[in-house]
Structure 1
């Protein structure tokens, strides 16, 4: 039975190996520990093992954990779940990153509700890269218009793109979806050179994501175990 600290080390090793296979520097890729449904005690354990970036999917659960872990004031909290317009205020007031901006209304509310004393909120635009009807996300065709609007919002910092491709065990299919997201970012960077983030890859497909340029992999199961 491995400890959480050992699983965290294994995840870092996997990132390092995938980066080397892609001729990339491992420090180009951030490990975002996805702690949804896990208790604050496990986050504290990961924190003690050196992790500082944590991703949460469910707003109220996340707010409770943030309140419980206020003594660890260098944690960087990322919101990576769907965000309803009536829940944007606590997200704007709490998180350093929101990865799931997929429409103008959400972006505008986050901008307007970001406290003036806080640094600009880092945002990624969520892309429905596999065009799945059941998934959130803007289409690639709609990206330029949304990126232009978000880039003008003073309390938001447009950082990049996020996607959750259709599930596949085929590494070539995995890479194809991630390559499409990378290409979309490259296109946007011509107008928005500040965009530097590809939030893509999870426990099951992080190797393919890193090969295609991911700068942030969202790892939950491989660190914390299966959801309870």
Structure 2
């Protein structure tokens, strides 16, 4: 079985190749290692191999890992899972990015509970591209109003959009879906919002996402192996 450093190298190589194929510089596509269900030792192995951005879905798992890895400098913590109202304080206090904001109430709570000494909390709005009942996310129709309101919250920095599209096998179909998120970002920019982030793409659609402008790609299994 390949070790975490070898898997991480392989994923990074895929990202670089995808960026170059799309005529983009690889430095503008960042990897978030999705570390849910993985032990702190696995994250430290990835850190020692050069990874710095880690994505966690479950607060109750993330906080002990953050404590265990507190001795490591410059880790960037991304919260990428559904957000319950009673979890916003800990998320606001312990994360650098939140990818999964889809309601104004959650954004307001994160804003109000963000410690001043930590600076702005980076936010992506999660969009439900395919109107799937099983997934969170604001609709494309409701997105502009939510984005405008979140952009006005003083302790948050609205950076862009995130989506988890319905699975599609063909890259052309993957790109068509992800292009809708890219277009939504461009439309918001045209309305005056200074957005720079598209959080999209996972192991199965990484190449399609990079081709459509992803700036943060979230990969778990191809780095850490099957979930523990």
For residues 136 and 172 of structure 2, the distance between their equivalents in structure 1, rounded to whole angstroms, comes to: 23
* Matching residue of 1:7: 7
Tell me the SS of whatever aligns to 1:61: helix
Q: How does 1:101-180 map to 2 (within 5 A)?
A: 101-180=101-180
For residues 191 and 113 of structure 1, the distance between their equivalents in structure 2, rounded to whole angstroms, comes to: 28
Q: How does 1:1-228 map to 2 (within 5 A)?
A: 1-228=1-228
**CA shift for structure 1 position 193:** 3.9
Deviations 1:146-201 (A, max 9, x none): 11111110100000000000011121211111000000000001234421000000
Q: Which shifted more, 218-227 or 184-193?
A: 184-193
**CA shift for structure 1 position 2:** 1.3
For residues 53 and 178 of structure 1, the distance between their equivalents in structure 2, rounded to whole angstroms, comes to: 22
| Structure 2: segments with no counterpart, 5+ residues | none
- Structure 1 runs of 4+ aligned residues shifted over 3 Å read none
For residues 13 and 91 of structure 1, the distance between their equivalents in structure 2, rounded to whole angstroms, comes to: 31
Output the TM-score relative to the length of structure 2: 0.98
For residues 209 and 132 of structure 1, the distance between their equivalents in structure 2, rounded to whole angstroms, comes to: 19
**CA shift for structure 1 position 20:** 1.1
- Give the 3 Å change call, closer, same or farther, for CA 9–51 of structure 1 in structure 2: same
Output the TM-score relative to the length of structure 1: 0.98
**CA shift for structure 1 position 3:** 1.2
- Give the 3 Å change call, closer, same or farther, for CA 58–192 of structure 1 in structure 2: farther
For residues 51 and 146 of structure 1, the distance between their equivalents in structure 2, rounded to whole angstroms, comes to: 32
For residues 192 and 178 of structure 1, the distance between their equivalents in structure 2, rounded to whole angstroms, comes to: 22
Question: How many pairs align?
Answer: 228
For residues 121 and 176 of structure 1, the distance between their equivalents in structure 2, rounded to whole angstroms, comes to: 31
**CA shift for structure 1 position 226:** 1.2
RMSD between aligned residues: 0.8
